[in-house]
Structure 1
Amino acid sequence: MQNLIAEMNWDDIRVFVALVRAGSLSLAGRALNVEHSTVVRRMDALEKALGLRLFDRLPRGWQLTVEGEQLFSRAEQMDECAHALLRDASEGAALSGTVRISALPAFSTAFLAPRLAALQERWSPITLELIGETRMASLTRREADLALRVGRPQDPSLVVRPLGALGYGLFAHEDYLARHAPQDWRFIGFDDSLRDAPEQQWLDRYRAQRPYSVKGNSALTLHQAALGGLGIALLPHYLAAGSAGLAPIASDPPPPRRDLWLVIHPEVRRSARVQLIAQLVTDVVSAASNLLCPSS
């Protein structure tokens, strides 16, 4: 078997597939941009290497033998894999193309988008797809090239990189705090789809028996509800910072921090465009570490 593989010219497989698809020597030669005599020579070499007769060479044309028919589907698969390999190699070496990033909606919208926009000249040949979603996109199924996760993924097949931490705090509109004593506070939190999130569990304990006024499945919704004066919200610092009218509320113990991870599927991590975007995401997160998780 090893001797057979060593003797075989893999380009002959391509010619074999082209000949079967074209149906004639002349059409195959035209498709391959070679003389039909070259096609004949390649098929002679392939049959010799395999030790099989692939075609009955009849006056009215070449017809596949039973052995040829059996091998054609395998040869077609090999030809398609070779084209895919070359295509992936070409795309991997180029900066043009698309990179899809999956992240929580608030982080994608309020943090990543404006900061990557400021660096557009560094990635302008690339099309970015910023996918804001609370579900865990499957990198194994190539639903995204990169993902930002709170909490370390447990899938051992993925490449993970720690980026830092996200800090949270209690916030409410200053007018709401002026009108309501703490015992009368109403709260803004996640709905049941996110009831197991550590920050939501902390808020459930903190509020005790005090009621919720609004629930949602995105920190963006909670943020807008707090700005509208609907109660006390637990928000990531990057989202609450700079929001006119929102006032921080001290709490003891403080809300939990969440570790932030960059996740990449190993099949795409060597792509030049994926590497570039991964580095830019790392840079903008590192530069904003004090905003994302203030030390005090």
Structure 2
Amino acid sequence: MQSSRLDWDDVRVALAVARHGTLAGAARALGVNHATVMRRVGRIEAAAGLALFDRTARGYALAPGRRRVLAAMEDMERASEGLIRALANARAPMAGTVHVTSTDTLCLTVLPGVAAEIAGAAEGVKIDIKAENRHADLARLDADVAVRPAASLPEGLVGTRAARMGFAVYASPEAPAHWLGLSGALSRARPAAWLAEAIPPAQIAASADSFLVLREMAAAGQGRAILPAILGEADPRLRRLDGAMPPLATEIWVATHRDLAGVPRIRLVRDMIAESLGRRAAQLLGPAAANAP
């Protein structure tokens, strides 16, 4: 086999098949059709002169003895991502768009105001805000800056602990005593861990994967919801149930990939977001979590 016969796009597709286990799953992840995935898998196997996958009734499984091949393809992927980041850094001017990702809670309550501050202070810098509760993959340049409540940063990211997000229990005055659960990406949050330990499943009446949705469910009288203080305190339809849960808070990080940390406009936006969150620290923490560990 000649290394020049390997196409990076074929390697990328083979990695997706290995990770998802089916052609259809890889196609959805890559945004291409089933036939394209099948064709590229066939091409890389032909170029390699060996089968990378065993075809089974359940899908595609990595063939025996191919773990080192998979590891080498992952190394190739990391090298490609590093090259893309290095090129972005090298040609980055001060002006341009900075893509910021955060939770729907922070995108609703804090980031619009921060974006307005940046627009007034940094001529030529535009902010694109992406609201999602899953963590964007900064290694793949899904975003330039992430604003995330988390205990710590994943490997490869650098950032600042800008504030703390406090939580409390809220309900409408007429709400029953049962609880609303946290599902999807929220199931990994600190409030979900407390809920799983302290509240029997039989007392969970419904659940949602968004604090904004949980707020509306609580306001509709469906039960008690653990909400960020910045959502619950400002809602006149809800009352805080002090003592229903121990004080609970988590760090809010403003982070970027270490390879992009020196890009002038990204560094500027990251620093301005961190400063703005710091000024809102008391509002983000809330009264119930003031003594949270």
Q: TM-score, normalised by structure 2?
A: 0.62
Contact conserved, 1:189 with 1:200, CA < 8 A, in 2? Answer: yes
Residue 153 of structure 1: aligned partner? 153
Structure 2: give runs of 5+ residues left out of the alignment: 1-82
Name the aligned partner's letter for residue 153 of structure 1.
L
- Alignment length, in residue pairs? 203
Structure 1: give runs of 5+ residues left out of the alignment: 1-80
CA distance in 2, matches of 1:128, 1:244: 31
Question: Could you tell which deviates more after superposition, 202-211 or 247-256?
Answer: 202-211
CA distance in 1, matches of 2:245, 2:234: 24
Residue 76 of structure 1: aligned partner? none
Shift of 1:239: 1.2
CA distance in 2, matches of 1:115, 1:88: 24
Residue 99 of structure 1: aligned partner? 98
Residue deviations 1:195-238, cap 9 Å, x none? 33221121233333552233111111111111222110000011
CA distance in 1, matches of 2:92, 2:186: 38
Aligned pairs for 1:111-190 within 5 A? 111-123=110-122, 125-149=124-148, 150-155=150-155, 157-176=156-175, 180=176, 185-190=177-182
Residue 277 of structure 1: aligned partner? 269
Secondary structure of 1:175 counterpart: coil
Residue 235 of structure 2: aligned partner? 243
Contact conserved, 1:111 with 1:238, CA < 8 A, in 2? Answer: no
Contact conserved, 2:168 with 2:245, CA < 8 A, in 1? Answer: no
Residue 292 of structure 1: aligned partner? 284
State percent identity of aligned pairs. Answer: 22
Name the aligned partner's letter for residue 246 of structure 1.
L
Secondary structure of 1:279 counterpart: helix
Shift of 1:120: 3.0
Query: In the superposition, relative to structure 1, how do residues 114 and 210 fare at CA in structure 2: closer, same or farther (>3 Å)?
Result: farther
Query: In the superposition, relative to structure 1, how do residues 275 and 231 fare at CA in structure 2: closer, same or farther (>3 Å)?
Result: same
Shift of 1:193: 4.7
Contact conserved, 1:202 with 1:256, CA < 8 A, in 2? Answer: no
Residue deviations 1:254-284, cap 9 Å, x none? 1421112121112222222112211221111
CA distance in 2, matches of 1:124, 1:213: 49
Q: TM-score, normalised by structure 1?
A: 0.62
Aligned pairs for 1:1-296 within 5 A? 88-92=89-93, 94=94, 96-123=95-122, 125-149=124-148, 150-155=150-155, 157-176=156-175, 180=176, 185-208=177-200, 210-251=202-243, 254-294=246-286, 295=290
CA distance in 2, matches of 1:264, 1:88: 13
Residue deviations 1:33-80, cap 9 Å, x none? xxxxxxxxxxxxxxxxxxxxxxxxxxxxxxxxxxxxxxxxxxxxxxxx
CA distance in 2, matches of 1:222, 1:125: 37
Shift of 1:160: 2.5
Residue deviations 1:125-162, cap 9 Å, x none? 2221111122221111111111123121230x321222
Give the root-mean-square deviation of aligned CA atoms: 2.4
User: Computing the radius of gyration over CA atoms, which structure comes out larger, 1 or 2?
Assistant: 1
Name the aligned partner's letter for residue 249 of structure 1.
L
Contact conserved, 1:202 with 1:255, CA < 8 A, in 2? Answer: no
CA distance in 2, matches of 1:90, 1:193: 35
Shift of 1:90: 4.8
